[in-house]
Structures are given as structure tokens and as C-alpha cells.
């Protein structure tokens, strides 16, 4: 998107607790991100993320995947809801559905995801457990553009955390999520300011190609 857009429109897709959504709501409230979350769409009823959105005065929709026999029909309904808002950016924030290639193609270059691992390590589920089982000494989270392969697509930003001897999947996930809440708002801010783009399957920041890992967040980095 170009930085002439005055108030970029963001649609957020969730399936659960919405703590990343909350981080975005807070960053927008503090004017750290100049944009509006026009809608939050969940594939599950009754999740905390919907309550967080409602509390912030954001419109919510539920498109329950269980009501759709085929993934294509579910995705078509999702597209219908999303497109009503004519979003500049679609943010997947814990959205636990595999998307069809048509869906991904439609929003390619304007859809971001956050994944709880240092991609390309550990696409898919149970990332914290897998990092522990493999005896990794560091783990983390990645924000990336969404392309048609699961949890792939050019990396934008990563944050690392050390893996401690006494860690369990739960303790590790808490530490990783703290970092998620820092890096996702940074990536969204870059995007809505027109600084971040996907060109030829590469993530570009300020017209420079980002490293394959994405930019690595250093421990003293703030939102800028
Ligand atoms: C996060 O760990 C994110 O990396 C993964 O799903 C989780 C969502 O958590 N994609 P929340 O709903 O934002 O709290």
C-alpha cells in the first residue's frame, strides 16, 4: 500500500484468545499505528478475542467453519465478509484454519501472519514442544507474508527467546508470546506506513530486501 492512504483499514482474523489482536488494539489506541481495525472475524463463537474486539468498539463477525461442508465454501464466505470492509491489510492473529490457494492469492502481498517459531523451523502445530524435544537453545516467533504454503512466505520480523533448562511448552509459550506482542505491531506499523511490501515473493522494507530470517528484533528495540 502507499503511504498516501490516510487511514488504512485493517481486518483481523482470529480463532481464540486474541492477545495479538489486543496488542494491535493497544498500539492503535496509543497512536503508535495509524490505522483502524474495521472488523474482527472469528471462525469460532464465544472466544475471548471477540470480547476484546467488542470492548474496543470493533465490529465482529463469526464465520463458523463447522457450518460449511467444504473449505472452498467457507473461504468464499470469509472473502465476502472481509471484502465488505475493503481492507488495506488482513492480519491473521491466531487464525487456525488452513486457507485455500484462491483465498491466499486474493490477498497475496496484503496478508500477514504470526507464527510461534523461528520460521522456517517448525511450521504447523506444537512448535514449543518440538523446540524442547529437539534440545534447541533458542526459540521465538516470526511475522511473515502469507503465501500458499502453510506457515511459509517471506519473513518480515523475528524475535528470539532463550530456551531454559526448566522450560515446559507452557512456560516457553508465555515468553514467546511476550515477543509476539512486540513484533506484530511493528510489522503492521511498517505496512500501514507503506514501508513494507512483498515484491516477487520477497519482503521489502524501505525498498530494501529483508534478510531471509526477517529483521531480528534486538532486545532494546521499540516501535518505530
Ligand atoms: C499465537 O501464539 C500465534 O503465534 C499463533 O497463534 C497464537 C495466537 O494467540 N499463530 P492469540 O490468540 O493472539 O492470543
**Ligand 1 centroid vs 4 CA: distance in angstroms?**
31
pLDDT at 33: 97
pLDDT at 148: 86
150 pLDDT band, cuts 50/70/90, is confident
Q: Tens digit of pLDDT for each residue in 96-148? A: 998 999 999 999 999 999 999 999 999 999 999 999 999 999 999 999 999 98
- Ligand 1 pocket, CB under 6 A: 14, 16-20, 49, 93-94, 114-116, 141, 177, 180
pTM: 0.95
Q: Is 115 a catalytic residue?
A: yes
189 pLDDT band, cuts 50/70/90, is very high
Given a cut of 80, whether residue 224 has pLDDT beyond it is: no
**Ligand 1 centroid vs 16 CA: distance in angstroms?**
8
> DSSP characters for the chain?
--TT-SS-EEEEEESS--HHHHHHHHHHHTTSS--EEEEEEESSTT-HHHHHHHHTT-EEEE--GGG-SSHHHHHHHHHHHHHTT--SEEEESS---PPPHHHHHHTTTSEEEEESSSTTS--SS-HHHHHHHTT-SEEEEEEEE--SSTT-S-EEEEEEEEPPTT--HHHHHHHHHHHHHHHHHHHHHHHHTT-EEEETTEEEETTEEPPTT-EEPPTT----
For ligand 1, what atom is nearest to the CA of residue 180? 4
Q: Which CATH superfamily is domain 9-216 in?
A: Formyl transferase, N-terminal domain (3.40.50.170)
Q: Tens digit of pLDDT for each residue in 41-87? A: 999 999 999 999 999 999 999 999 999 999 999 999 999 999 999 99
Given a cut of 70, whether residue 181 has pLDDT beyond it is: yes
pLDDT at 220: 54
Quick check: bond before 120 cis, omega within 30? yes
Amino acid at each position: 500500500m502507499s503511504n498516501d492512504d490516510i487511514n488504512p483499514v485493517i481486518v483481523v482474523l482470529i480463532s481464540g484468545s486474541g492477545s495479538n489482536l489486543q496488542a494491535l488494539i493497544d498500539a492503535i489506541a496509543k497512536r503508535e499505528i495509524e490505522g483502524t481495525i474495521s472488523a474482527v472475524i472469528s471462525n469460532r463463537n464465544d472466544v475471548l478475542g471477540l470480547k476484546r474486539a467488542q470492548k474496543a468498539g470493533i465490529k465482529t463477525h463469526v464465520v463458523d467453519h463447522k457450518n460449511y461442508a467444504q473449505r472452498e465454501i467457507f473461504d468464499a464466505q470469509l472473502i465476502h465478509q472481509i471484502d465488505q470492509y475493503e481492507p488495506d491489510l488482513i492480519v491473521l492473529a491466531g487464525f487456525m484454519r488452513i486457507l485455500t490457494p484462491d483465498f491466499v492469492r486474493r490477498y497475496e502481498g496484503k496478508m500477514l501472519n504470526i507464527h510461534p517459531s523461528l520460521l522456517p523451523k517448525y511450521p504447523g502445530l506444537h512448535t514449543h514442544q518440538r523446540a524442547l524435544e529437539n534440545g534447541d537453545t533458542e526459540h521465538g516467533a516470526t511475522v511473515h507474508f502469507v503465501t500458499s504454503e502453510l506457515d511459509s512466505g517471506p519473513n518480515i520480523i523475528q524475535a528470539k527467546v532463550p530456551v531454559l533448562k526448566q522450560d515446559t511448552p507452557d512456560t516457553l509459550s508465555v515468553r514467546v508470546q511476550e515477543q509476539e506482542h512486540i513484533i506484530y505491531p511493528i510489522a503492521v506499523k511498517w505496512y500501514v506506513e507503506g514501508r513494507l511490501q512483498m515484491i516477487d515473493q520477497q519482503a521489502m522494507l524501505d525498498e530494501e530486501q529483508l534478510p531471509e530470517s526477517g529483521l531480528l528484533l534486538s532486545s532494546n528495540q521499540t516501535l518505530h
